[in-house]
Amino acid sequence: MKLLSREQIENLSKFKSESFLTTSLYLDTDKSRMTKKEITLSVKNLLRSGRAQLDLIEMSKEKKESISQDLDKIGLFCSKRLSSYNFAGLAIFSCNRENFWELFSLPSPPRNRIIFDQNSYVRPLSAILDEHHRIFALTLDRREAKLYEIFMGEILLLENLIEDVPSKVKEGGWKGYESKRIERHIATHLHEHFKKIARTTFDLFKKNQFDWLFLGCRERYCSDFEPLLHPYLKSRLKGWLKAMPSDSPTTVLKESLGLEKKLKKQEEDEIVHRLISELERGGLAISGLKRTLRSLNKGEVQTLITTRNFSKPGRICPRCRFLFVDELRCPSCQKRTEPLVDVIDEAVEAAMEKNCQAKHIMPPSKLDRYGKIGAFLRYKT
Ligand SMILES: [Zn+2]
């Protein structure tokens, strides 16, 4: 299925087998950058490294067999289906002995990796989801308006309004005062056309909700149209496209994705900047892996901020689910902690379970100097 919502990730996280490990595979399948042959080769390499990992892990024969079957199944799927697969990324989660198999098509390429763990490795999914906003792209001119929804790299035409407003007074036949009157008439007509577009946009917003609005129109219409937008929409207007209603959806999509990427970078810079100033004035923020995990365990975290692809092994208390960098015993219940392949992945999952936001920052950023991880807190104890 296509990755579209946080709910899907939460559902995926719910699966946990008491007796067997789950295999998670992430594959970059971006055919705009790689040939089919290269993709096939990376599958082979990934599966080979998976088998090598498996040889080194100490566990029961049965557990190993289940993982080995996961690898066979994934290999078979890739050899059959990848040549006609048209998404930039693929994620597969499998626990063969429990008949668990989930597949996600991804709109942007993940880092190639294979992981065996207690449950599905979902952090890259959450990062990809976090990368994408629900966008409305509106292109308009005096003849028509097109409203598109853009999400997870796909574009959908929601509405096409056509209203042929004449562009100018016809040559000849009009005396000066009459042509003035006609011009006024045209201006009113155009104003009504714009008002209708603004109203339709707001109606669609109420139905579909979106984060950002992008507008594409001639410069001379911007100042006429923008004031007609509802305040909710004005606050979501994030940028201008170099696209017109006559442009193809592909062009509008390409322009919009470019703008989204730029805005995303600005947003990330802004959040890191806000975190650092909060840290420096000793406010409701913390940084560094150890302190972040401690705050997360205590339920103080409001927004978790991590560097994309930053990973570190760690430990978890099987009883309290508390996360640690290196505690061998849980300070709270004294139970022996268990090792984790990637404690940051668990931290993101824990944050999501506690209804906190998780923000993933593309490196390099100033967060690197603060231990690559931090959080805004609800309160501080
Ligand atoms: Zn404990």
Q: Which residues pair with 90 in a beta bridge?
A: 27, 105
Strands of 154-162's sheet, edge to edge? 154-162, 144-151, 135-140, 212-216, 237-240
Ligand 1 centroid to Cα of residue 23, in Å, is: 26
Q: Is 226 exposed, middle or buried (0-12, 13-18, 19+ CB in 10 A)?
A: middle
Interval 175-196: pLDDT, tens:
666 778 888 888 888 899 999 9
Ligand 1 centroid to Cα of residue 316, in Å, is: 8
Four-residue CA torsion sign, 230, 234, 238, 244: positive
Ligand 1 centroid to Cα of residue 314, in Å, is: 14
- State the Cα–Cα distance between residues 262 and 162, nearest whole angstrom: 31
Question: Which residue in 340, 342, 323, 341 sits closest to 331, CA to CA?
Answer: 323
Ligand 1 centroid to Cα of residue 344, in Å, is: 18
Q: How many CB atoms lie within 10 A of CB 224?
A: 13
**Which band of pLDDT confidence, cut at 50, 70 and 90, is reported for residue 239?**
very high
Ligand 1 centroid to Cα of residue 273, in Å, is: 34
Instruction: Tally the residues of the chain.
Output: 381
- State the Cα–Cα distance between residues 131 and 361, nearest whole angstrom: 9
**Which band of pLDDT confidence, cut at 50, 70 and 90, is reported for residue 349?**
confident
* pLDDT at residue 94 in the model: 97
* pLDDT at residue 172 in the model: 52
Cα dihedral 334/340/343/348 (nearest 10) = -100
Quick one: angle between helices 123-131 and 343-353, nearest 10? Answer: 60
* pLDDT at residue 157 in the model: 95
Are 139 and 245 within 8 A, CB to CB? Answer: yes
Cα dihedral 291/296/300/306 (nearest 10) = 70
Mean pLDDT of the chain: 91
Q: Where is 302: in which H helix or E strand? A: strand 301-307
Ligand 1 centroid to Cα of residue 296, in Å, is: 14
Interval 109-148: pLDDT, tens:
888 889 999 889 998 898 888 778 899 999 999 899 999 9
* pLDDT at residue 275 in the model: 98
* pLDDT at residue 85 in the model: 92
- State the Cα–Cα distance between residues 229 and 245, nearest whole angstrom: 18
Is the pLDDT score of 218 beyond 70? yes
Ligand 1 centroid to Cα of residue 18, in Å, is: 18
Ligand 1 centroid to Cα of residue 299, in Å, is: 14
- Determine what percent of the chain is predicted with pLDDT higher than 90: 66
Ligand 1 centroid to Cα of residue 325, in Å, is: 14
- State the Cα–Cα distance between residues 213 and 237, nearest whole angstrom: 4
**Which band of pLDDT confidence, cut at 50, 70 and 90, is reported for residue 156?**
very high
For the segment 260-279, the average pLDDT, to the nearest whole number, is 94
Strands 212-216 and 237-240: parallel
Residues contacting 258, CB < 8 A, separation 6+: none
- Determine what percent of the chain is predicted with pLDDT higher than 70: 97
Strands 323-324 and 212-216: unpaired
Are 361 and 305 within 8 A, CB to CB? Answer: yes
Is the pLDDT score of 173 beyond 70? no
Is the pLDDT score of 51 beyond 70? yes
Ligand 1 centroid to Cα of residue 337, in Å, is: 8
Is the pLDDT score of 16 beyond 80? yes
**Which band of pLDDT confidence, cut at 50, 70 and 90, is reported for residue 12?**
very high
Ligand 1 centroid to Cα of residue 380, in Å, is: 21
